[in-house]
Amino acid sequence: MARRPAPLASIRLLVLDVDGVLTDGGLHYGPEGERTKRFHVRDGHGIRAVAAAGITVAVISGRDTAAVARRCADLGIGELQQGVGDKAQAFESLLARLGIAARECACVGDDSPDVPLLLRAGLAVAVADAHADARRAAHRRTRLPGGAGAVREVCDWLLAARARARR
């Protein structure tokens, strides 16, 4: 039996992966190691909009980079966990600390390491170009690929659902 997604208007927490979700998944290396990441400006606008609407935004990433810390700081994302080996454990700790049920959480992922989060989330979203593992675990899939406005698309879904619920 398929898991039913949580109603969009009930989402209180949006958890995002980085590589392949907030970025296109490309890793840019220079002589000193990873140097840059490219983020989509519309994703940032969507993140700020859902945060202003009362949805907490968190980032859980397997990699640890200064660029992600900077981007999260610029967007006011205080819930940042980088260098995470066990995303499921990090997710459960986050839910407990915030007092939010998994059913009230939307997770956006793109690959196998995100599957444990997607399977637990009330709303599991895979970006358009996600690996088949993530697509199978997701309730919904974006039209846009990671790093190209997919996060903004999810934010727009959440904001529209909240607006409809207020009517």
Q: What angle do CA 75, 67, 126 make, to 5 degrees?
A: 70
Pairing mode, strands 33-36 and 28-30: antiparallel
pLDDT tens-digit map of 68-120 = 999 999 999 999 999 999 999 999 999 999 999 999 999 999 999 999 999 99
Percent of the chain past pLDDT 90, that is, above it, reads 82
Pairing mode, strands 56-60 and 28-30: unpaired
pLDDT tens-digit map of 104-116 = 999 999 999 999 9
Per the model's pLDDT, the better-predicted residue between 157 and 34 turns out to be 157
Pairing mode, strands 13-16 and 79-81: unpaired
Looking at domain 8-166, its CATH superfamily turns out to be HAD superfamily/HAD-like (3.40.50.1000)
The CA-atom distances, in angstroms, between 157 and each of 9, 87, 150, 162 are 9, 24, 11, 9
What are the residue boundaries of the structural domains of the chain, listed by start? Answer: 8-166
Please check whether residue 123 is in contact with residue 154, taking contact to mean a CB–CB distance below 8 angstroms.
no
Mean per-residue pLDDT over the chain, rounded: 94
Confidence of residue 1 (pLDDT cuts 50, 70, 90): very low
Q: Which amino acid is at 19?
A: D
Q: Which amino acid is at 120?
A: R
- SS3 state at 70: helix
pLDDT tens-digit map of 28-40 = 887 777 678 899 9
Please check whether residue 48 is in contact with residue 138, taking contact to mean a CB–CB distance below 8 angstroms.
no
According to the model, what pLDDT value does residue 143 have? 98
Secondary structure element (H or E) that encloses residue 107, with its range: strand 105-109
According to the model, what pLDDT value does residue 34 have? 67
Sign of CA dihedral 100, 154, 50, 71: positive
Report the alpha-carbon distance of residue 73 to residue 144 in Å, rounded. Answer: 25
According to the model, what pLDDT value does residue 136 have? 97
